[in-house]
């Protein structure tokens, strides 16, 4: 089995088409699907066997478009940025992956997401190599299948809805069977390389800049992304959303995690995420 890579592209540019050719998956923002050139490139990738997924930003409202019906024929699945998006995306009939913002640190979380209907999940970016090998999830990922049921919800006393049975729930003292989460059909994705979100904000730095006071609104449609510099002189790229006046601030430099590549070499079914920006 060849290694699986997901090229997760924050802002689509034509140069990324060549890099993503032959990849297992490419993921783009829903905003980029409003661009005809992006759709043309993605169609060429799909024709070559690459799966195209669409990511919703953490701060997103349906009126920010494009409409789901307009993009469903161009994609193979979704990435949910938060729990509130899951039900809506599953309703489209396409597979839904949990994005890194869902903070998957262990098998219990993966099990709950599977029972909510997700087809897979990206492990938290904060899960470093040392902590990864201490989790039950790592043992599952390396092939140590366990027959015992997960005890999600038992200690916390939470009600966890079961997939396909909305009227039922897992209450204290009951168990949640891992089911497909650990039989090979639930996809795990691990960050291999790239910049990661440092902050999501309902604030536009261009419109709020003192030097652009009164003239900055609307500039994001011409200048996007922009860069912020902190007091140490470090520069952070900022992706602006003109439709909602929100912004996504990325890390000042890419994360490079070669241990994720070794993990994928041991278990080729694990997907490596490559975040592309610059």
Q: For every one of its 278 residues, what pLDDT tens digit does the chain have, with 9 covering 90 and above?
A: 578 999 999 999 999 999 999 999 999 998 899 889 999 999 999 999 999 999 988 777 766 666 778 889 999 999 999 998 999 999 999 999 999 999 998 888 888 898 899 999 999 998 877 676 666 665 554 444 333 333 333 333 333 333 333 333 333 333 334 444 445 678 999 999 999 999 988 888 887 776 666 666 777 777 888 898 999 999 999 998 887 788 899 999 999 999 888 888 887 778 999 999 98
Domains of the chain: 4-195+254-276 (3.20.20), 198-250 (no CATH)
How far apart CA 38 and CA 33 sit, in angstroms, is 6
CA distances from 78 to 61, 95, 98, 132, 239 (A): 15, 6, 8, 25, 20
Show contacts of 202-210: CB within 8 Å, 24+ apart. Answer: 202/59, 202/244, 202/245, 202/246, 203/245, 203/246, 203/247, 204/240, 204/245, 204/246, 204/247, 205/238, 205/247, 206/240, 207/245
Closest CA to 197 of 95, 115, 138, 122: 122
Structure tokens that stand for 201 in this block? 């904000």
Task: Give the DSSP per-residue string, 85-96.
Answer: GHHHHHTTTS-E
The pLDDT value recorded for residue 93 is 93
Provide φ and ψ at 266, rounded to 5°: -75, -35
Structure tokens that stand for 17 in this block? 């088409």
Handedness of CA 234, 235, 241, 245 (dihedral sign): positive
User: Does residue 112 contact residue 176 with C-beta atoms inside 8 Å?
Assistant: yes
The pLDDT value recorded for residue 254 is 95
Using DSSP, state whether 236 is helix, strand or coil: strand
How far apart CA 114 and CA 161 sit, in angstroms, is 11
The pLDDT value recorded for residue 211 is 64
Residues 34-44 have pLDDT tens digits of: 889 999 999 99
């Amino acid at each position: 089995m060849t290694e699986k890579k997901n090229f997760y592209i924050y802002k689509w540019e034509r140069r990324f088409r060549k890099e993503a050719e032959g990849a297992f998956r490419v993921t783009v923002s829903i905003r980029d699907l409003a661009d005809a050139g992006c759709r043309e490139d993605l169609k060429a990738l799909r024709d070559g066997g690459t799966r195209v997924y669409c990511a919703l930003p953490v701060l997103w409202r349906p009126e920010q478009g494009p409409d789901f019906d307009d993009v469903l024929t161009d994609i193979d699945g979704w990435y949910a940025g938060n729990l509130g998006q899951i039900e809506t995306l599953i309703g489209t009939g396409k597979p839904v992956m949990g994005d890194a913002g869902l903070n998957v640190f262990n098998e219990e979380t993966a099990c709950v997401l599977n029972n909510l209907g997700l087809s897979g999940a990206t492990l938290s970016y904060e899960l470093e190599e040392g902590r990864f090998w201490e989790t039950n999830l790592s043992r599952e990922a390396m092939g140590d299948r366990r027959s015992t049921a997960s005890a999600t919800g038992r200690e916390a006393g939470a009600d966890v809805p079961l997939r396909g049975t909305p009227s039922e729930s897992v209450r204290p003292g009951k168990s949640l069977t891992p089911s497909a989460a650990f039989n090979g059909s639930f996809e795990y994705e691990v960050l291999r390389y790239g910049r990661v979100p440092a902050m999501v904000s309902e604030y536009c730095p261009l419109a709020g800049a003192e030097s652009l006071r009164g003239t900055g609104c609307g500039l994001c449609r011409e200048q996007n992304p922009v860069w912020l510099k902190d007091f140490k002189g470090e520069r952070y790229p900022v992706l602006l959303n003109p439709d909602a006046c929100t912004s996504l601030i990325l890390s000042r430099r890419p994360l490079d995690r070669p241990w994720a590549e070794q993990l994928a070499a041991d278990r080729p079914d694990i997907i490596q995420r490559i975040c592309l920006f610059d």
